[in-house]
A and B are shown apart, each in its own frame.
Chain A
Amino acid sequence: MIGTGRKKSIAFFIALGAGLILVIILLYVGWVLLGWHRGILLFLGALLLALIIAGIILNTTFLVREIRRNEQHDAFINAVTHELKTPVASIRLYVETLQTRTLDETKRNEFYNIILSDSDRLLGSIEQILRTGRVGSSSRKPHLVPMNLAEAVKECVARARILYHVPPESMEYEPGPPLPIQGDYDEVRAAVSNLIDNAIKYSGNDMHVEVSASGVEGKYAEVRVKDRGHGIAQTELKRIFKRFYRVQGPVATRVKGTGLGLYIVRSVAKRHGGRAWAESAGSGQGSTFVIQFPMAK
């Protein structure tokens, strides 16, 4: 209900902006027709008018963008609330269980492992949120050092395999030649890990992920993460990299997330002078995510 209310208010502001511009143009045309002989004034008027129109357009654009952002922010708060509170709730529940009930050795160990994995999950969410703040601010420059992208990708793949218990045949990775780049090791790893995590998260039960790292014309070093998951609609390919943005629909409600992962990927790419994008033939066709870094000279 809140959503439709906001859509209405967006439509209202757009209509208001367009209406005002129309009124001004009509007034001006009328004024020109009546006072065509005052040449200089006419020119000045046209200039001022163009300025006013530009102002209104700018104002409307900003307003609409702010409303959209606000909307996403609400969704983000809900998602973050969930991502942070759920592991805490689980940890608390198991600690209380261990405290109050007599358990045998195997059960106790099982519960300890659950607590451990939930604290890892919590830490992951916290890191993601903190990283968003870091990569989003232009005042904090990345700490660039010479590094091998291929090596970083290899580590990320190994980490994901252990973390998500991925069977080897479900995730393909061919180690290639070294790819020297100037990068912030921590940020690059976070970006690549986010892409791999997404591919696993959105693949469902029938998982098949291909990860590759290669050079492009000696200029760029790129990482491609290809999945056979739900795929992405053409209209969403760009939007998914926006902060807090999550695709609406059944998939996004099934797969939990904060809407920060791809924003981090894109921000990291930009900070390194590279870029990131997604390719998909459409829904149900799987998707490929690419991040490119400039090759070190």
Chain B
Amino acid sequence: MSRILVVEDEQHLAEGLRFNLEAEGYQVEVVDTGEAALERLLGQSQIFDVVVLDVMLPGKSGFTVVAEMRQAGQFVPTLILTARGHSDDVLQGFASGADDYLTKPFDLTILIARIQGLLRRREWLRNAQPVQARNNINDNQFTFGDKSVYFDLLELRVREQVFPLTLMEMNVLRYLIQHEGKPVSRKTMLEEVWGLHEDTDTRAIDNFIVRLRRYIEVDPTKPQHLLTVRGVGYRFEAFPAKRD
């Protein structure tokens, strides 16, 4: 269930929003000051999926709140809902870091549609994120199918089998995993992995790929993960079945 934080000091509006959003199946929390909103958002991050924020609040204004949120690294989708509809205000809202802006009085169905839009965007990002997160160098492990790569241990484990990799093999593999799904040219790999800028024979890389395929691929002659991109280089595909 998606959680929505409503920051609104007009009690009637706040309760009306709560009622309708709850009727839509969201979990709603209402606070009536910018300070309280910041406390809720910066205290335990990630607990809200969308923030609906008023501007003319007692104490800190909505613009300040969203700017401080962003500064503190809280990037929860935020919709500003305010009576101020002048273009200067709208621009200030977006400049402060808001994702959407809606003026009061508003159409309830449109507000709900926009909230759904923000939630959908968040969902898409979330689905895309795990691969990216696992590709992160700080993350020492990457799993695809029944294979796991342990970057710092220089090991590739396929089911119960453990293949020790050399440092260079691991670097090539890591580089390809980081650029998962995208073709990587031999030249850029040489530059990025080996740090070479001369016109070295880029075919040297092919030997590494051949060896990596022997570990990773079920049938090295018909690669599923380490694919050749003709005329360019290679592409790593973590979940080849999904592409077909």
Contacts and interface: CB of A to CB of B under 8 A. Distances in A.
Nearest to B105: A89
A86 B10 contact: yes
B56 interface: yes
A93 interface: yes
A239 interface: no
Given A85-B104, A93-B17, A94-B16, A250 B59 contact: yes
Nearest to B23: A101
B106 interface: yes
A92 B105 contact: yes
A118 interface: yes
B8 to A, nearest CB: 10
A273 B109 CA distance: 54
A115 to B, nearest CB: 9
A114 B13 CA distance: 10
Contact of B13 (A84, A93, A100, A117): A93
Interface in B70-107: 83-85, 103-107
Contact of B12 (A84, A101, A114, A256): A114
Contacts, number: 66
A105 interface: no
A253 B23 CA distance: 32
Given A81-B84, A86-B13, A93 B58 contact: no
A86 B104 contact: yes
Contacts of A101: 20, 23
A256 B13 CA distance: 15
Contacts of A97: 16, 19-20, 108
A201 B58 CA distance: 14
B83 A114 contact: no
Contacts of A250: 58-59
Nearest to B103: A85
Contacts of A86: 10, 13, 83, 104
A61 interface: no
Contact of A89 (B23, B58, B106): B106
A250 to B, nearest CB: 6
A96 interface: yes
Contacts of A91: 105
A283 interface: no
Interface in B1-45: 10, 12-13, 15-17, 19-20, 23
A277 B237 CA distance: 79
Nearest to A92: B105
B129 to A, nearest CB: 35
Contacts of B13: 86, 89-90, 93
A199 to B, nearest CB: 19
B112 to A, nearest CB: 10
Nearest to B104: A89
A114 B16 CA distance: 10
Contacts of B19: 97
Nearest to A86: B10
B56 A93 contact: no
A82 interface: yes
26 contacts: A81-B83, A82-B56, A82-B83, A84-B83, A85-B83, A86-B13, A88-B105, A89-B106, A90-B10, A90-B12, A92-B105, A92-B107, A93-B13, A93-B16, A93-B20, A93-B105, A93-B108, A96-B107, A96-B109, A97-B20, A100-B109, A114-B15, A117-B12, A253-B57, A254-B59, A256-B56
Interface of B: 10, 12-13, 15-17, 19-20, 23, 56-59, 83-85, 103-109
Given A86-B104, A91-B105, 18 more contacts: A78-B56, A78-B84, A81-B84, A82-B56, A82-B83, A84-B83, A85-B104, A89-B13, A89-B105, A90-B12, A90-B13, A93-B13, A93-B17, A97-B16, A97-B108, A100-B109, A117-B12, A256-B56
